[in-house]
Amino acid sequence: MSMAEHTLPAVSLRPRQADDLGLRRALSDRLLPLLVAAMAFLAVLALGGAVAARGLAAHWRGDAAALLTVQVPQPEGAGGAGAGGLTRAAAVERALAGEAGVLSARRLTHAEIEALLSPWLGGDTSGLAMTLPAVFEVHAATSSVTADLSARLQTLAPGTLVEANGVWFDRLGALAGSLQACAALALALVAFVATAVVAVATRAGIAARRDAIEIVHGLGATDGMIAGRFAARLTVLTFAGALTGVLGAVPILLIIAALTAPFASAQAAGAEIASRLPLVLWAALPTLPLTAGCIGWVTAQLTVRAWLAALP
Amino acid sequence: MDGESDAEGGLALVGVSLRYGPAGPLVLHELSFAVAAGGFRWLLGPSGAGKTSLLRLLTLAVRPSSGALRVLGAAIENTRRADLPPLRRRIGVVFQDFRLLPHLSAFDNVALPLRLAGRPEGQVRADVSEMIRWVGLTRRLDARPAELSGGEQQRVAIARAVICRPALLLADEPTGNLDDAQAARLMQLLGELNRLGTTVIVATHNESLVRRHPADALVLEEGRLVETPDHVHG
């Protein structure tokens, strides 16, 4: 220890990663984090939209699209050709059971049919002159089994209706796909704007600290040292901003999920508040601040290094 | 003429010219001279003669427009940009306008070259404390440049330039804001560094200073070298 240390007054030494370039003032912790927070907020909503559209599309293209309804009028009448003496309903039920691509076929009970018709016919149908049709709820492996099935059932029980919502579900699936694409585009746009905002902030910081940069460059600082100082500062600012935006957006997302719960599955409608958001969304949310931090780091590095390249 | 001027620690120019920008006027014309490691030169000439431009060349702040420049053993025209920072860390510079970082204290300004060189913080504290004491700013450690007088700022700039014990020390009017006692003290420091092997080049208008410390001189006029004791005929 040198003698000078005993005679010198105490001085507040800073760590080596100290703010040599004065970036805490040049890159303030106000405007940039606020802008990043706003973009992160939008990104969360876009991400939520994308995840919801993806879930709906999967639902529509999956279970719902493959759900058929088969109506057999005059169910107790004699079956047509190939019915083998069975009633029309029984012949159709046997055919459905043996149909390739049909996962399950369940005949609705009389009470269930009455419940379906009650808005139009009232709760009691015993006084009706007409016979209620037999109704089968069929789960098919795919939505494409209906074409041939309908023709075969017509043979067994003429007048049988096979209602498939596949076409509509395909259209709704396409709509959901479009929504996903829009959400992805919105996310890409948010990332692009975030990059631009960071680049502008970095250039503003360079302009504010141009002299300091040139001095430390002249003293032997490498491009990596200088760009690293900027990148560290901007990573902190973008991460903090994005974290704020995400935390602010989560309650909004939960409210939207609560409002849209009736349109979602029965499970989601009755779930706890937190469980109303898909797990994949919960998993994706923490990646937003990390992504923002990465955008801050990479953009700052590239912007500063590009500027420094003009120096000798 | 100095001996091995292009060896480690020395510098040599052969036909070096400099213009700012591709279409700018030549500010230095075909300069050729050499200074051996451990040499001392005054750099003299009227204002606008090109002294500061020559110092900027030697501090590697600009590259020559033409000619061959060799600094501390490196041929600058062939040196990759990524290889220049280690070279710059071996060069100490006292700027005419001090060029201190306004947001840093006197202590941190002096410590900057050591920190850029990656020295341990304990060593930084010891070395900077010693240097600050030597330039008489012990009570001004925490002061920012704006809180220091011109002379105090100049002493901080000098301390920063010599803290790494550079192989090449370049000073532009280093005594301009110092009183006679401080100027003598600075010349004593430069002499000590020179004796320890540092090559020193001092640009000045101060004729009395040059008379008190006689040494070889490079004299510039309108960007041309008009007088040198060791002119290199390229």
Q: B208 to chain A nearest CA, in Å?
A: 31
CATH of the domain at A141: 3.30.70
**Residue B138: both structure tokens together:** 């012990």
Alpha helices in A122-260 (DSSP H): 146-156, 166-208, 210-218, 223-260
Cβ contact (<8 Å) for A219 and B89? yes
Average pLDDT over residues B70-89: 93
Clarify whether residues A158 and A250 are in a common domain: no
CA distance A125 to A140: 30
Last residue of a domain, one of A135, A164, A193: A164
Identify which has the larger pLDDT, B199 or A265: B199
Of A9, A18, A221, the CB nearest to B85: A221
Query: Does any domain span residue A78?
Result: yes
Cβ contact (<8 Å) for B130 and A220? no
Query: Is the pLDDT confidence value at A160 over 80?
Result: yes
Query: Is the pLDDT confidence value at A12 over 50?
Result: no
Query: Does any domain span residue A3?
Result: no
Query: Is the pLDDT confidence value at A296 over 60?
Result: yes
Cβ contact (<8 Å) for B61 and A218? yes
Q: How do residues A210-259 score in pLDDT, each as one tens digit? A: 999 999 999 999 999 999 999 999 999 999 999 999 999 999 988 888 88
Query: Is the pLDDT confidence value at B230 over 70?
Result: no
pLDDT of residue B173: 87
Q: Cα–chain-centroid distance for residue A169?
A: 19
Query: Is the pLDDT confidence value at A278 over 90?
Result: no
Q: A25 to chain B nearest CA, in Å?
A: 9
Give backbone dihedrals phi and psi of A236, rounded to 5 degrees, phi first: -60, -45
CA-based max dimension of chain B: 51
Query: Does any domain span residue A244?
Result: yes
pLDDT of residue A98: 85
Specify which of A244-248, A268-272, A275-279 reaches the highest per-range mean pLDDT: A244-248
Q: How do residues B168-189 score in pLDDT, each as one tens digit? A: 999 998 887 778 888 888 888 8
Cβ pairs A/B, distance under 8 A:
95
Query: Does any domain span residue A7?
Result: no
Q: What is the mean pLDDT of chain A?
A: 83
Clarify whether residues A142 and A183 are in a common domain: no
CA distance A230 to A19: 10
- Under the banding of pLDDT at 50, 70 and 90, the label for residue A69 is confident
Query: Does any domain span residue A170?
Result: no
- Domain ranges, residue A214: 20-56+176-308
Of B86, B115, B138, the CB nearest to A8: B138
CA distance A297 to A290: 10
Residues of chain A neighbouring B99 (CB-CB closer than 8 A): 211, 215, 218
Clarify whether residues A47 and A184 are in a common domain: yes
Clarify whether residues A271 and A191 are in a common domain: yes
ipTM above 0.90, yes or no: no
Query: Is the pLDDT confidence value at B135 over 90?
Result: no
The answer to whether the beta carbons of residues B1 and B13 sit under 8 Å apart is no
Domain count within chain A: 2
Domain B38-61+80-216 = CATH 3.40.50.300? yes
Q: A230 to chain B nearest CA, in Å?
A: 15
Query: Is the pLDDT confidence value at B1 over 70?
Result: no
Clarify whether residues A127 and A241 are in a common domain: no
pLDDT of residue B161: 93
Query: Is the pLDDT confidence value at B85 over 80?
Result: yes
Query: Does any domain span residue A222?
Result: yes
Q: A34 to chain B nearest CA, in Å?
A: 25
Cβ contact (<8 Å) for A9 and B139? yes
Collect contacts of A246-252 with beta carbons under 8 A, ≥24 apart: A246/A40, A246/A41, A246/A44, A246/A285, A246/A286, A246/A288, A246/A289, A248/A37, A248/A41, A249/A40, A249/A41, A249/A44, A249/A45, A250/A44, A250/A285, A252/A45
Q: How do residues B11-49 score in pLDDT, each as one tens digit? A: 999 999 999 988 889 999 999 999 999 999 999 999 889
pLDDT of residue A144: 66
**Residue A147: both structure tokens together:** 């074409």
CA distance A170 to A4: 82
Q: A57 to chain B nearest CA, in Å?
A: 53
Chain A residues with CB within 8 Å of chain B CB: 1-2, 4-5, 7-9, 11-16, 18-22, 25, 211-212, 215-216, 218-223, 225, 309, 312
CA distance A77 to B230: 124
Cβ contact (<8 Å) for B85 and A7? no
B85 and chain A in contact, CB less than 8 A: yes
pLDDT of residue A9: 45
- Under the banding of pLDDT at 50, 70 and 90, the label for residue A65 is low
**Residue A231: both structure tokens together:** 């990148």
pLDDT of residue A269: 54
Cβ contact (<8 Å) for A20 and B115? yes
CA distance B188 to B202: 13
Domain limits, chain B: 38-61+80-216
- Under the banding of pLDDT at 50, 70 and 90, the label for residue A7 is very low
- Specify burial of residue B128 (Cβ count, 10 A radius: 0-12, 13-18, 19+): buried
The answer to whether the beta carbons of residues A229 and A308 sit under 8 Å apart is no
Cβ contact (<8 Å) for A15 and B121? yes
Clarify whether residues A103 and A152 are in a common domain: yes
CA distance A174 to A97: 31
Most B CBs within 10 A among A1, A3, A7, A11, hence the mutation to make, goes to: A11
Give the residue carrying structure tokens 């840093």. Answer: B104
Clarify whether residues A188 and A299 are in a common domain: yes
Q: A306 to chain B nearest CA, in Å?
A: 13
Cβ contact (<8 Å) for A220 and B126? no
pLDDT of residue A39: 95
Query: Does any domain span residue A171?
Result: no
Give backbone dihedrals phi and psi of B226, rounded to 5 degrees, phi first: -105, -15
SS3 B222: coil
- Residues 6 or more apart whose CB falls under 8 angstroms from that of B41 comprise B35, B200, B201, B202, B215, B216, B217, B218
